[in-house]
Amino acid sequence: MATKKNKLAEYEKKRDFKKTTEPKAKVKKSKSKLPMFVIQKHNASRLHYDFRLEIDGVLVSWAIPKGPSLDPRVKRLAVQTEDHPMDYGKFEGNIPEGQYGAGPVMVWDYGTYEDIKEDKKGNIIPMEKCLKDGSIKIFLHGEKLKGAFYLIRTSKEISGKKQWLFWKVDDEHADARRNPVSTQDYSVLTGRTTAEIKKKGKIYGD
Ligand code: MN
């Protein structure tokens, strides 16, 4: 059985911590009552939004190329990537040239979430099981994103990476006209744009 430490082995292997200011691999629980989530806008070789959910001491992660949509009819591809340490949730800064994922990282949204996936009897299914089953339903309490979302694994795998679909549940927070990816293009931690992060570098993540 994989230990908690092993969960971050891939994260650790991909990075040279003498060169990048990203957080070191460490498993821990968040202090908040509810588990946390973060979405990081990452201008790497290809722009994507890294969606991360706290599950059992790490941030389970997906790369969403187009970012989230609030339109319940729009399903976004979400490619599962390696688990990240909890401290990554507040990392904002530049990953240096030549390093894995080189480019600016912005904390685009941050908050807590609730597991709202129920079994037939109406009992909440634990997140660890939802993840294994490939069927997640969560309620986000973010600054930009609120309300319920689905994250469902498809049968496809691309280069060994699991493909999921992420989309908005049709609730009172759904809004086909609002597009936060373009209208709220700033950090919820610092208010900075990607260009400003690139210029000034890291202020979070120590
Ligand atoms: Mn990324």
Helix, strand or coil for residue 143? coil
Distance from the alpha carbon of residue 122 to the mean position of ligand 1, in angstroms: 35
Distance from the alpha carbon of residue 78 to the mean position of ligand 1, in angstroms: 12
Distance from the alpha carbon of residue 175 to the mean position of ligand 1, in angstroms: 26
Report the 10 Å Cβ neighbour count for 70.
21
pLDDT in tens, the chain (206 residues): 445 558 899 999 999 988 888 888 888 877 778 999 999 999 999 999 999 999 999 999 999 999 999 999 999 999 999 999 999 999 999 999 999 999 999 999 999 999 999 999 999 999 999 999 999 999 999 999 999 999 999 988 888 899 999 999 999 999 999 999 999 999 999 999 999 999 876 655 43
Distance from the alpha carbon of residue 181 to the mean position of ligand 1, in angstroms: 16
> pTM for this structure?
0.92
Give dist(CA 127, CA 54) in Å, integer: 9
Distance from the alpha carbon of residue 66 to the mean position of ligand 1, in angstroms: 12
Q: Where are the domains of the chain?
A: 32-200
